[in-house]
Amino acid sequence: MSNLFDKTTDALGASINMRLLRNSITGTNIANAETPGFKAKKVDFEEALARAIDVEGLKKMNPSQPEHFASGPGAISNVRADVYDNPDVNVTNDGNTVDMEREMALLAENSILYNAAVQLINKKLAALKYAATEGAR
């Protein structure tokens, strides 16, 4: 059976899932901005997603072990986000590392990129719908 969706649709779906995770982590950081000793978390997935969709021409890589980078067919579904303590922040007197201005900016940026990915998927699905309904005429 052929795959109905192409690599772009799969990548947009993975991006949406990762942006949901980033939104959740950023929301947790914001909610704990006043919690003494709270360590802000950071989410990275863009590089792993780029490798999986082969943006940089890594098509020739053939990972033989599961610990290797995800690349090639089916790699997009194996992309995982890295969630870790944010090393790029200042520690306050109470040990909290949340920078509210940075977190709010990240939340706004993430929201814009999430909405853009949803709109692109909607356009691709609308094109499929058009092809399916207009093809019968």
Domain boundaries of the chain, sorted by first residue: 7-45+81-132
Q: How far apart are CA 8 and CA 98, in angstroms?
A: 34
In 68-125, beta strands by DSSP E: 82-85
**Confidence bin at 57 (pLDDT 50/70/90):** low
Buried b (16+ CB within 10 A) or exposed e, 13-34: ebbbebbebbbebbeebeebee
- What is the number of other CB atoms lying within 10 angstroms of the CB of residue 53? 21
Across the strands, what pairs with 53?
none
Q: How far apart are CA 16 and CA 62, in angstroms?
A: 27
The pLDDT of residue 54 is 64
**Confidence bin at 69 (pLDDT 50/70/90):** very low
* Backbone φ and ψ of 107, nearest 5°: -65, -45
Q: How far apart are CA 120 and CA 64, in angstroms?
A: 34
Amino acid letter at 137? R
pLDDT, tens only, 20-47: 999 999 999 999 999 999 999 998 888 7
The pLDDT of residue 25 is 95
